Amino acid sequence: MTGFSSRVEQVSISGIRKVFEAAGEDAINLGLGQPDFPTPEHARTAAVEAIESGATDAYTSNKGTIELREAIAEKTARDNGYDVDPAHLIATAGGSEALHVAIEAHVDAGQEVLIPDPGFVSYEALTHLAGGTPVPVDLREDLTMDPADVEAAITDDTAMFVVCSPANPTGAVQSEDDMREFARIADEHDVVCLSDEVYERIVFEGAHHSPMQFAETDNVVVVNACSKTYSMTGWRLGWVAASNRRIERMLRVHQYAQACAAAPSQFAAEAALSGPQDVVDEMVGAFAERRDVLLDGLTDMGLDVPTPKGAFYAMPRVPDGWVDEVIDRGVVVVPGDAFGANGAGHARISYAVDVETLKEALEAMRGATNALQ
């Protein structure tokens, strides 16, 4: 008898898509999770040269080319303060596939995965697809996740907890102390800490830290990608870093689902990671300026918004009906409950647009706010 798996029936298409479909073609789109900058020229050129020389005609190693994995290892030592063996990396089809292989390899049917609420949409869906049970963890007032809340939620069935910093959809950045605590919790309770670090370079205040820096066991698994840092969402290139035994299990999933990340993208990523990094600094500078414009505008219209310290999202509390009013005025924002029950009463605003467009969008938001008073 034909039918669908109960795992897939538990998952629906992301609420973000529905919003795009509701908005007109000329709408200003503040719903997108991708930087509005071009991919650095040296990355594009590396891919073109690799294609023209025929270097991309064949499968690469399942884990990705050794040159790319060496570039990721060098980047990790440079930016993240810990060493990773290139053998302990798998290049994936974006951070998305990295999350998928990590959850699929570690979560058994019926096991629990603790996820931030609100949190990035994939964590809940991928947990269901693995047959697991997502368990939402409330966030603090400043929208960071309290390690004490994670620890309190751990049961005998917990396989994993997910940390995302800087975070989508909140822009919150976890402190170094929090990251130390997450590492301790993973060590002491023998659960996996899945650390999603795809926004690690987009930090405006403080610095990014990884639980991997502090863990004493191999219980931390790191997911990262070129997508946000180098404006390469379309290239689909991410990676997962973990110990040998964990990489070996994740490779079983990756090998059968993907074989290897797309070869042209691997060449582009290697160039992006090992080439000049000033393009990233320029992009982060532009995001910082926009964040201030957005925060000033939202605060000025009386909305309460925790200051985002990273990524390119803000998550103000908004009155009932606000998101629909804003969309009716030609600006796409995402209702907060697309990211979990605690997102209700909030909107996620992405500021991956230039300052002029952002100011125009703020006028629409002001109109919506006034209309609801």
Ligand X SMILES: Cc1ncc(COP(=O)(O)O)c(C=O)c1O
Binding site for ligand X (CB under 6 A): 33, 94-96, 120, 164, 168, 196, 198, 225, 227, 233, 238
The rounded distance, in Å, linking the Cα atoms of 150 and 82 is 24
* Residue 123 beta carbon to ligand X: minimum distance, rounded to whole angstroms: 9
Question: 118 or 297: whose CB is closer to ligand X?
Answer: 118
Question: 33 or 297: whose CB is closer to ligand X?
Answer: 33
Q: In angstroms, what is the C-alpha Rg of the chain?
A: 20
* Residue 47 beta carbon to ligand X: minimum distance, rounded to whole angstroms: 16
* Residue 319 beta carbon to ligand X: minimum distance, rounded to whole angstroms: 26
Question: 158 or 227: whose CB is closer to ligand X?
Answer: 227
Question: 96 or 319: whose CB is closer to ligand X?
Answer: 96
Question: 313 or 364: whose CB is closer to ligand X?
Answer: 313
133-138 and 28-29 strand pairing: unpaired
Question: 88 or 236: whose CB is closer to ligand X?
Answer: 236
Please identify the residue of the shown chain whose CB is closest to the bound ligand X: 94
* Residue 321 beta carbon to ligand X: minimum distance, rounded to whole angstroms: 26
* Residue 208 beta carbon to ligand X: minimum distance, rounded to whole angstroms: 13
